[in-house]
């Protein structure tokens, strides 16, 4: 049974852990087992962590009582000519989130999401976007935190939180 956790701001040294969370997100489906190397060398995934941490990047890391990272939510502002799955416009941050399997369904993801949205607003952003596959339960989590579907593809939805 997981123990207590806390949340801290992400720092440059978290890049490798954020890579782990990109792998968790890409492998979210039960039985998903694409290799870390394969995922993190694929352009559509590596753009979420390459060169972490840039000036416009921001994120939060959840840590357990030993200060080991257990989950993270972060955003990047991706370029129009190198867009993420959830790109909606110039200068709109795109969110990525992942929690280690043993810690899921304990409130960590929602807590991280809330911290990141509050931070994005404090940085002057009026929107934050993400991409989620249709059948991922995380979609209900995002909806309950104020995200709405703005574009629906064959596999993924783009969701946006207008943080006014
Ligand atoms: C999606 C994810 C980040 C959510 O984090 P989490 O810590 O597990 O989520 P929380 O515990 O905060 O739960 C949030 C809500 O989702 C629900 N939930 C959690 N796990 C669930 C599951 N397996 N199936 C259905 N609902 C679930 C919870 O009941 C909760 O709702 P509630 O507050 O109304 O009870 C995490 O599960 C994860 O890393 N999943 C794999 C990677 C992934 O899918 N990333 C997102 C890609 S878009």
Domain limits for position 139: 5-162
How far, in Å, CA of 105 to CA of 82, rounded?
A: 33
**Would you give per-residue pLDDT tens digits along the chain (164 residues)?**
567 999 999 999 999 999 999 999 999 987 778 999 999 999 999 999 999 999 999 999 999 999 999 999 999 999 999 999 999 999 999 999 999 999 999 999 999 999 999 999 999 999 999 999 999 999 999 999 999 999 999 999 999 999 86
> How many distinct structural domains can be found in the chain?
1
Measure 142 CA to ligand 1 centroid, in angstroms.
9
- Which numbered atom of ligand 1 lies nearest the CA of 131? 48
Kindly report the CATH number assigned to the domain that includes residue 32. Answer: 3.40.630.30
Best of 48, 111, 141 for a ligand 1 pocket test (most atoms within 8 Å of beta carbon):
141
Please indicate whether residue 105, judged by its CB atom, sits closer than 6 Å to ligand 1: yes
CB-side neighbour CA atoms (13 Å) of 88: 22
How far, in Å, CA of 20 to CA of 96, rounded?
A: 12
Please indicate whether residue 95, judged by its CB atom, sits closer than 6 Å to ligand 1: no
Going 96 to 102 to 105 to 109, the CA torsion angle's sign is negative
> What are 119-151's pLDDT values in tens digits?
999 999 999 999 999 999 999 999 999 999 999
């Amino acid at each position: 049974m997981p123990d207590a956790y806390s949340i801290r701001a992400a720092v440059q040294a978290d890049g490798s852990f954020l890579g782990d969370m990109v792998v968790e997100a890409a492998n979210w489906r039960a039985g998903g087992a694409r290799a870390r190397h394969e995922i993190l060398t694929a352009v559509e995934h590596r753009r979420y962590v390459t060169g972490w941490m840039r000036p416009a990047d921001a994120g939060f890391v959840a840590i357990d009582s030993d200060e080991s990272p257990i989950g993270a939510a972060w955003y990047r502002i991706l370029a129009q000519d190198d867009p993420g799955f959830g790109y909606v416009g110039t200068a709109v941050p795109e969110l990525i989130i992942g929690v280690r399997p043993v810690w899921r369904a304990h409130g960590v993801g929602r807590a991280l999401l809330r911290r990141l949205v509050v931070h994005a607003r404090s940085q002057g952003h009026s929107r934050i976007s993400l991409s989620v596959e249709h059948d991922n339960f995380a979609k209900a989590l995002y909806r309950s935190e104020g995200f709405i579907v703005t574009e629906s593809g064959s596999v993924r939805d783009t969701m946006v939180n207008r943080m006014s």
